[in-house]
Amino acid sequence: MYRTAVVALALGVAACTQISMPEAPEGQKLFAENCVQCHGVSGKGDGPWANLMTPQPSDLTQLSVNGVFSRARVLSIIDGYDRTGLPGKGMPEFGDLLEGDTIPVDVGDGVLTPTPRPLAALLAYMESIQE
């Protein structure tokens, strides 16, 4: 009986906990750990390894098209699901970003898609650096 009450209480607390989209600073840390070598600190494709790469890494500050940042497209590229039309095959898949708790992310179609928190954090950061 006690165990059932504890489990019920834990589930109730979990249900009341608001899961929100990560802020850009959380994603900036992941960017620094995973992306700076190629894309540079500013995200402009000018990292220390960029000159060794053909084609050059993308300028991640220019992902918005006509003022629209396609969350679905960016997530698909980062997680390796869809890299159609990209000039190179050198960008690695970041499996570690696909692990952990998921959060609901609106990828632009109004439907909340369960997305690993690290991937959502990186998405938030990349959206914040658009020029």
> CB of 37 within 8 A of CB of 47?
yes
- Whole-model pTM: value is 0.79
**H or E stretch at 32:** helix 24-34
**H or E stretch at 8:** helix 2-16
CA distance 39 to 68: 21
> CB of 10 within 8 A of CB of 94?
no
pLDDT at 10 (0 to 100): 42
Q: Which domains does the chain have, with CATH numbers?
A: 20-128 (1.10.760)
What value does the CA radius of gyration of the chain take, rounded to a whole number of Å?
18
pLDDT tens-digit profile of 74-107?
Answer: 988 887 766 666 666 667 777 777 788 999 999 9
